[in-house]
Amino acid sequence: MLSERTDRLSELARKEKAEGLTDEEKKEQQRLREEFRAAFRRNFMAQLENTYIETPEGDIRKLKKKTE
């Protein structure tokens, strides 16, 4: 299903360059971009949550969130 969305997003991008988009297509493109970004962030955060760092001393620690 994600592949179908990215294919549609690519199709809209090509059409936008070639001939332009209708208002409805622009809204669809924006919605698909937001969905893609949200999915990317979720997947990236999941990857970071499962990342471990090995220190020079040989200890293995879970990657911590950066606090400000």
pLDDT in tens, 4-35: 999 999 999 999 999 999 999 999 999 999 99
Residue 67 in domain: no
CA-CA-CA-CA torsion for 30, 33, 38, 40, nearest 10 degrees? -170
Residue 56 in domain: yes
C-alpha 53, offset from chain centre: 24
Print the domain residue range for 17. Answer: 2-62
CATH number, domain at 58?
Answer: 1.10.287
Looking up tokens 């990236």 gives: 44
Structurally, how many domains does the chain consist of? 1
User: Residue 28: CB partners within 8 Å, gap ≥ 6?
Assistant: 8, 12
Looking up tokens 């809204």 gives: 27
pLDDT of residue 2: 73
Residue 68 in domain: no
**Residue 1 banded pLDDT, cuts 50, 70, 90:** low
pLDDT in tens, 28-63: 999 999 999 999 999 999 999 999 999 999 999 998
pLDDT of residue 22: 93
pLDDT of residue 68: 52
Torsion-angle region of residue 20: left (phi > 0), alpha (psi -120 to 50) or beta?
A: left
